[in-house]
Chains A and B, each alone.
Chain A
Amino acid sequence: MALVLAAAFAAQFVLHELPCPLCLLQRILFATLAIGPILNIRFGPRPSHYALSLLAAVAGAIASTRQVLLHIMPADGGYGSALLGYHYYTWALIGFIAAIVLLAAILLFDRQFEDDGAALPPTGALVAQIAVWLVIGLTLLNVISTLLECGFGACADNPPVYELLKRSS
């Protein structure tokens, strides 16, 4: 999840392309996908934790499908740049569908839900802690960039410039 959020950020700053509202919603839902695994690290694997991630993945797939359909007409160039032939919302749709399939595959293994009596560390291993703090950090960076982009009003459908930077310059 941290990698996906970092890639979206890189595209935003390297290519100077501002994310549209649906793009932002897809980023939010990618961050929400991480909540199930974080609960698994903290409290141990439970079906309800996977359910939270599945719901986020389905919501993300709906939002990205909507954006794909917005640009489905042959003459439409799409929103933003393409990466390896697909726009970011198409990659997002592929990512959310892959997450649904992966979560379903993980749920096939019932033995993970059996209580083996082993005590879990309160916040997981070091790698898990780094991953969680990365997701939290990237989500907070998105708070700042979205505030700069949208300002204090409703976010524009096709934002040309950072709203707050425009006002201050």
Chain B
Amino acid sequence: MEFTLLFLAVAIVILAAWRGSHPLAFGLYAAVMIACAAAYLHHATDTLKLSF
């Protein structure tokens, strides 16, 4: 679900960059990047099953 929302958010940012105002596009971009970092950290903190 988190990735569905992220794809939707990116589509909205692209539309804002294409048709909307400059500050709106930058603000939405910042929000998407923070959400991407959160999604990455959520999945990157899983325990790695490595054996050496």
Contacts and interface: CB of A to CB of B under 8 A. Distances in A.
A100 B33 CA distance: 17
B13 to A, nearest CB: 6
Contact of A143 (B7, B36, B43): B7
Contact of B14 (A38, A43, A154): A38
A24 B3 contact: yes
The range of chain A's interface size is 35 or more
Interface in B30-52: 32-33, 36-37, 39-40, 43-44, 46, 48, 50
A29 interface: yes
Contact of B39 (A25, A35, A52): A25
A115 interface: no
A1 to B, nearest CB: 10
Interface in A116-155: 123, 132, 135-136, 139-140, 142-143, 146-147, 150-155
A146 B18 contact: no
Given A52-B29, A151-B1, A143 B8 contact: yes
A27 B6 CA distance: 10
A107 interface: no
Interface of B: 1-4, 6-8, 10-11, 13-15, 17-19, 22, 25-26, 29, 32-33, 36-37, 39-40, 43-44, 46, 48, 50
